[in-house]
Amino acid sequence: MATATSHWTVWGLDASVTVADPSALEDARAIVATVLDDVDRACSRFRDDAELNSSSIRRGRPTRISPMLATLVDAALSAAHVSRGAVDPTVGQRLVALGYDRDLASLTDPVHAADPTRRFRRSIAAHRAHAGMVVRRGDTLTVPEGVTLDLGATAKAVAADLAADVVASRTGSGVLVDLGGDIATRGAHPSGGWQILVDDGPGQPTAQIAVSGDCGVATSSTLHRRWRDAQGIDRHHIIDPWTGLPADERWVTVTVAARRCVDANTASTASIVTGREGDDFAAGTGLPARLVSADGTVVRLGGWPDERERAA
């Protein structure tokens, strides 16, 4: 079966859509772009006009929200519950305090190539907010005043799922949507399955897997989206909600396969946040998972395949 792919950059990430029916590529690209724009307008931390940044929400008032924002918030709250608090959307203020207050490309001192063995200096921080403080009821959202939601831990994966759902439904073609390593597949797949290369950069161990049918594969990593704060401290974007600081780097890359990308992403992010217990967390999900430690050791769990097998 022939396939066709379109590549572009969005949110500072490499994005692509691949279709099993090449004649559907133009429509598929337009659908994915529309979904991503809807997600961005709903919840971007870097847009003053984003729905999540409305004055009503920021003042702690019950606020009617769009179906898209409701979907994104519900996914984030579900991730917090499933991960037992390891993936929490109320870390927005901590990210701002650590210097991640605008798009990473705009930061004055980004760190583009991290040394996985490097340890950043830690400082005392308190993070008192938690997902249980956020109320979603009917078509309204209430966020306590002073709490800033950051849906970045789940929104990209939700976007991949939604885009793949709509492309498959409207075009009838099998499809793979890849948003910076958050991957969703739907419908018919090429012979041998969708081929996915897990590669987190130069010097890092790689893996080639094949997936079929409706599937999600997500990779969470501390090796990218890094910057130096005002004190010159090396930071990364995966926040430990219990400390309010970037998670310890016991695991620098975790990849998980699940039926939906958001579920895979929740498990991969939680495995990094939980540090020394990360492999136990991943094992507890029963999902295929691949964890890479700072020294390059690779741990495969849940039937994660070698290069000749399928992950899902």
For helices 261-273 and 278-285, give the axis angle rounded to 10 degrees.
Answer: 150
Q: What is the pLDDT of residue 127?
A: 55
- Residue 47's CB is within 10 A of a number of other CB atoms, namely 14
* Residue 5 CB partners (closer than 8 Å, separation 6+): 16, 17, 18, 19, 25
Report the b/e string of 212-231 with b at 16+ CB within 10 A. bebbbbbbbbbbbbbbbbee
pLDDT tens by residue, 170-186: 999 999 999 999 999 99
Most confident of 72-81, 129-138, 300-309: 72-81
Nearest to 215 by CA among 254, 150, 271, 164: 164
The yes-or-no verdict on residue 50 having pLDDT over 60 is yes
The better pLDDT of the pair 67, 244 is held by: 67
The string of pLDDT tens digits covering residues 120-137 is 455 544 557 899 999 999
3-state helix, strand, coil split of the chain in percent (to 5) is: 35, 25, 40
The pLDDT of residue 21 is above 60? yes
- Residue 146 has a pLDDT of 92
Q: Is 193 left (phi over 0), alpha (psi -120 to 50) or beta?
A: left
| Average pLDDT over every residue of 154-163 | 98
pTM assigned to the model: 0.89
Distances (CA, A) of 82 to 18, 61, 76: 30, 27, 10
pLDDT at 195: 94
Cα–Cα distance for residue pair 249/79, rounded to 1 Å: 21
Residue 89, pLDDT score: 96
- For domain 4-111+125-301, give the CATH number: 3.10.520.10
pLDDT at residue 310, as a whole number: 42
- pLDDT at residue 248 greater than cutoff 60: yes
Domain boundaries, the chain: 4-111+125-301
